[in-house]
Amino acid sequence: MNKRIITIIFALAAICGGASAQQKQGHVMRPKPRGVGKTTVVGQAQLEVEYALNARDLRNPDTYLDLHILRAGKQLSKHYSRFLERGDSLYDAYMKANPNAEGVPSTFYTIGREGQYWSEYQSTEIFTEQGQQTFYAWMPWAMERYNAYYTEPAAQQKWTLANERKTILGHECQKATCHWRGRDFEAWFAADIPVRLGPWSFGGLPGLILKLNDTQRLYTWEAVSLRSGTFPITKRKYDGFHHDSRAHVYKLQVAANRDHLKAGGAVDRRTGQLKSNPHPYEPLEKE
């Protein structure tokens, strides 16, 4: 077998592998536009971190699954989607200028490589305060009635420190590993940034987590920018959200990703039967 054929085989394998990983992250219809609406400033952050989620090219945000923001303050921190924030802001501005409009341009919600689809890792805002994390979770189309919030202890991961080191954004980072809710994770944290937080719900290390992934690399966060200063932490009204348990919200999210039409109760008008359109899906947390 010559070198050219070998190269082609490896290239095809890489393409197929990437498509498989992408497919395993769900394929769910986005809910109706929501806008930002009225917000209240509830705290101040001294550090803002931007994390690329599942980036194919860290230099190009169009290749990200999402761009997550961590605003870390002394008393309160917030983790949220910059892509959704941009889309919601465009929605509000458009509706203000066009009060009689029945909808907004679809381009408002196509930021990133999968902008037309819902993901629980994009449609969740997380507030960390006094050792507790509160998750506000938006559900996909036809499941908005399940929009909910729940609270659980922060930084529950039990880390093992390793001797490996690498540099990220000019900061020397140390490797740490943990087994968390059915998966093995790797994190790289910067001890010179004394913030015990990171992307999503991860934290508890003696420094800010700048890179995180599960060992199968289905989900990867990597910091692409760090800024110090004063940043407002805002909170929406969260109209229609009800208090729920993490277990129930998780069950609904997994069901939505694996068969959105069935989970949402969509019915075929001709037969009266529930519609079904299953997809393979691997959640970040398996339990």
Nearest to 33 by CA among 119, 105, 96, 97: 105
Nearest to 201 by CA among 175, 228, 219: 219
Helix (H, G, I), strand (E, B) or coil at 245: coil
78 forms beta bridges with: 71, 127
Residue 188, amino acid: W
Q: Give the model's pLDDT for residue 24.
A: 55
pLDDT digits (tens, 9 = 90+) for 94-114: 778 888 877 777 666 667 887
Query: Does position 54 have pLDDT exceeding 90, yes or no?
Result: yes
Query: Does position 187 have pLDDT exceeding 90, yes or no?
Result: yes
Q: Which residue has the tokens 């599960």?
A: 214
* pLDDT mean over 239-259: 93
Nearest to 64 by CA among 112, 118, 124: 112
Q: Decide: 197 and 190 in contact? Cβ < 8 Å.
A: no
* pLDDT mean over 144-171: 96
Q: What residue ranges do the domains of the chain occupy? A: 3-263
Query: Does position 214 have pLDDT exceeding 80, yes or no?
Result: yes
Q: pLDDT band for 269, please (50, 70, 90 cuts).
A: confident
What residues contact 42, with CB distance under 8 A and at least 6 apart? Answer: 76, 233, 234, 235
Q: Give the model's pLDDT for residue 86.
A: 86
Q: Give the model's pLDDT for residue 267.
A: 79
In this predicted model, which residue has the larger pLDDT, 114 or 52?
A: 52
* pLDDT mean over 157-180: 97
Query: Does position 11 have pLDDT exceeding 50, yes or no?
Result: no
* pLDDT mean over 268-284: 83
What residues contact 94, with CB distance under 8 A and at least 6 apart? Answer: 101, 104, 105, 108
Q: Give the model's pLDDT for residue 20.
A: 39
Q: Decide: 211 and 173 in contact? Cβ < 8 Å.
A: yes
Strands 40-53 and 220-235: antiparallel
Q: Give the model's pLDDT for residue 25.
A: 60
Q: Which residue has the tokens 């550090």?
A: 47
Q: How far is CA 256 from CA 68, 135, 171, 279, in A?
A: 22, 18, 39, 10
To 5 degrees, how large is the angle CA 272–CA 275–CA 281?
Answer: 160
As a whole number of angstroms, the distance between CA 260 and CA 281 comes to: 11
Lowest mean pLDDT among 26-40, 126-140, 186-200: 26-40
Query: Does position 251 have pLDDT exceeding 60, yes or no?
Result: yes
Q: Give the model's pLDDT for residue 270.
A: 82
Q: What are phi and psi of 168, to 5 degrees?
A: -130, 125
Q: Decide: 78 and 233 in contact? Cβ < 8 Å.
A: yes
pTM of the model: 0.87
Query: Does position 8 have pLDDT exceeding 60, yes or no?
Result: no
Strands 148-153 and 242-243: parallel
Q: Which residue has the tokens 């947390």?
A: 285
Q: How far is CA 165 from CA 180, 198, 238, in A?
A: 22, 17, 41
* pLDDT mean over 205-224: 97
Distance, first Cα to last Cα, the chain: 45
